[in-house]
Amino acid sequence: MRTIAAILLLPAPILAADPQPVAKEHSEIRVVDAAAGRGAPLVELETGNALLFVTDNAGHVTFNEPALRDREVCFEGTYTNDSSGNAARTPRATTTRFSIRSNSIRSNLRPVRMAATPLLEFIRPSKDGMHFVRAASGKRFVVWGANYDHDDAGRLIEDYWDKEWATVVEDFGEIKALGANVVRVHLQLAKFMDTADRPNKANLARLGKLVRLTEESGLYLDLTGLGCYHKKDVPSWYDKLSEAERWNVQERFWQAVAGVCKASPAIFCYDLMNEPILPGEKKPETEWLAAAFGDKYFFQRISLNLDGRTRDGVAKAWIKKLTTAIRKIDDRHMITVGVIPWAHEFKGAKPDFNAPGVGDPLDFVSVHMYPKKGDVEGSLAALKVYAVGKPLVIEEIFPLSCSIEEAGEFIDGSRKHCDGWISFYWGKTIEENEKAGDIKGAIQAKWLRYFRAKTADILNDKR
């Protein structure tokens, strides 16, 4: 793993390449590869207003930009070296993104030394396939995260990340302050596919910006895709497609997303779809989206008609198609699918998408568990169905139908099976929820306090 350090040298005289040297005020940045102990060449540094600089062979950039003086400046950096952070796959080059933030650039400042945000390691399954590890160091990684699926008003991230980017930055900071190490973001298909074969370039660029923010924050992203949560946003052309055509669009969606994210160690995983469901065996379905939860459609069918196939066969084909598509672009990051744990509702239910022979291409199991009031033991028994010899993450958990104490008891009881838990953050801090003065705010504040207090115990797991 390489560490990048940046030294910002603020104005000093430089001689212009002119027969009659003229002293000019300039600023200089030197980017150092700490592992190699030398300047890093060909590092791209870009300012927020799209000024691009590239370091020379010694890792230096010098510039004279009056527009940057007397203001704080953030440079986004991209550096490619010859080592990989992935223990399982070792391509020749690794691209690292980082940021450095200057104090105001003005002539009375002395040289300032700054270090970039510590680099994240790629996360992979352990050699025995039962846990997660940091690829370079081999240290165990336990997920303790938050779903950032919508804000307090119910808006999805794509509804405001263009005009209210500061809100996203603030929320990620608040999630980090709670002790989380993973943020689950839900990407909507309609926001990333303008047509069946044309991705939305603007939102792909914003996704790249989100990835860089996550890197700077020292967090990881669980990118859940293909969402159709707001039915009004789903384009009519998508609903009219056949199953095969629909799967082809989903394939293009994931390849476009993977193309943006493939080089970043901040991607924890790609989650193919939130809570996909299969058609029944007796009669065809007519709607791709199932029952709404409030104003959100979280459940989505991947097929309307088995048409002589088995449910396992449909699930297997869909998983194979999408995982293969992603791995053509990105074979470094893990893939999962977040499922409804039907065993929590029906005794004898199978693990569906994660059954042997069906979910083999998936790197780990993700289930959405909301413990039942007065039946923590029953919820834990249902969870065991999904312990299939892979890392297991409870990708959604909240005291929705039980007390906070029971949810905590469930988390403690599930630790023998699980390698992570992802709760929720809806854009309000503990204090803001308490200030709301209602039952909803009180429950959320109490739960966030539990989450924050539990962090050390979860992340210091020595198993």
| Per-residue pLDDT, 82 | 46
Read off the pLDDT band of 215 (50, 70, 90).
Answer: very high
Give me the mean pLDDT over the 176-196 stretch.
97
The position carrying tokens 């870009």 is: 46
| Per-residue pLDDT, 61 | 74
| Per-residue pLDDT, 116 | 43
Number of other CB atoms surrounding residue 63 within 10 Å: 14
Query: pLDDT at residue 35 above 70?
Result: no
| Per-residue pLDDT, 34 | 62
| Per-residue pLDDT, 87 | 40
| Per-residue pLDDT, 100 | 64
Give me the mean pLDDT over the 350-376 stretch.
95
Q: Which two tokens stand for residue 133?
A: 């590890």
- Report how far residue 310's alpha carbon sits from residue 321's, in angstroms, rounded to the nearest whole number: 17
Compare 173 and 349 and report the one with higher pLDDT.
173
Query: pLDDT at residue 152 above 60?
Result: yes
DSSP string, 75-139: EEEEEEES--S-SS---S-EEEEEEEE-S-B-TTPPPEEEEPPPPPPPEEE-TTSSSEEETTT--
| Per-residue pLDDT, 186 | 97
Query: pLDDT at residue 90 above 60?
Result: no
| Per-residue pLDDT, 347 | 83
Single-letter residue type at 426? W
Q: Helix, strand, or coil here: 315?
A: helix
pTM: 0.77
The per-residue pLDDT of the chain, averaged, comes to: 85
Query: pLDDT at residue 13 above 60?
Result: no
| C-beta separation of 27 from 9 below 8 A | yes
In tens, the pLDDT along 378-426 reads 999 999 999 999 999 999 999 999 999 999 999 999 999 999 999 999 9
Among candidate residues 346, 350, 367, 357, the one with its CA nearest the CA of residue 417: 367
Compare 92 and 316 and report the one with higher pLDDT.
316
In tens, the pLDDT along 247-303 reads 999 999 999 999 999 999 999 999 999 999 999 888 899 999 998 888 999 999 999
- Report how far residue 60's alpha carbon sits from residue 53's, in angstroms, rounded to the nearest whole number: 10
Query: pLDDT at residue 434 above 80?
Result: yes
Lowest mean pLDDT among 45-49, 93-97, 291-295: 93-97
Lowest mean pLDDT among 61-65, 89-93, 151-155: 89-93
| Per-residue pLDDT, 68 | 64
| Per-residue pLDDT, 330 | 97
| Per-residue pLDDT, 46 | 77
In tens, the pLDDT along 229-240 reads 999 999 999 999
| Per-residue pLDDT, 9 | 44
Query: pLDDT at residue 369 above 60?
Result: yes
Among candidate residues 223, 398, 397, 228, the one with its CA nearest the CA of residue 297: 228
Query: pLDDT at residue 175 above 50?
Result: yes
| Per-residue pLDDT, 426 | 95
CA distances from 161 to 55, 156, 188, 312 (A): 31, 9, 13, 38
